[in-house]
Amino acid sequence: RKEPHQITQNDIQNFLLHKLENGSPGNTINVYLNALKFFFEEVLHLRLTVNIRYSKTPKNLPEILTQKECSDFFAKINNVKHHLMITLLYSTGLRVSELLNLKVKELQLDENYGWVRQGKGNKDRIFIIAERITKELENWIKVNTLQPENFIFSNLGRKMSSQTVRMIIHKAIIKAKIAKNVHPHTLRHSFATHLLENGYSVIEIQPLLGHSKIETTLIYTHLAR
């Protein structure tokens, strides 16, 4: 409901993302984009630069767990420390390296968020911590008398290996009788897909995952559908 000259590139980008999230395939989105580009450039003589490439469904989509499978999977992790680690990994969308590098001083538990410092691409970003996990983290830090510079999860003060996390996940997946190849990054893929299924938009999810390009986040729309 705007005059053509009042429409911004951001309006068009949000429109295209809205169409995509509501089930329009990549080819259809390209038709919309090309039609809009033609109208703006040939009729209105305005330059239109929308830096999103829409494509067909990727041939190799990452494997994810359904929300029910996640519930079954978590129920099979009995060790308190392991359960907290894997629940935090899933519910924040952290990479396994980011989880293992996490220190007490990087958590703002009173405000339900934390910081990834020098993540992929040497970037800092915020992640959200669920209220239920906040209480568990507070208790974990208190019981283990962890100091600000301590890793939240460690082996006798030393940083844990990613192989340990993979082993925890592998054992729980077998116990839950889930016939999928699940590794730490599967939980990150599942986190993003479940947020989309629960009504969040690609634009809201992109910063939580630390993606520099929105095309990387758009793959989860195919998984959510």
Catalytic residue set: 95, 120, 185, 188, 211, 220
From the number of C-beta atoms within 10 Å of its C-beta (0-12, 13-18, 19+), residue 73 rates as buried
Q: Which two tokens stand for residue 34?
A: 């090309």
Strand 107-108 with 125-128, pairing: unpaired
d(CA 65, CA 183): 11
SS3 annotation, 146-175: CCCCCECCEECCEECCHHHHHHHHHHHHHH
Q: At what angle do helices 162-175 and 67-75 cross, to 10 degrees?
A: 100
Q: Where are the alpha helices (DSSP H) in the chain?
A: 9-21, 26-38, 67-75, 80-92, 96-100, 131-143, 162-175, 184-197, 202-209, 214-224
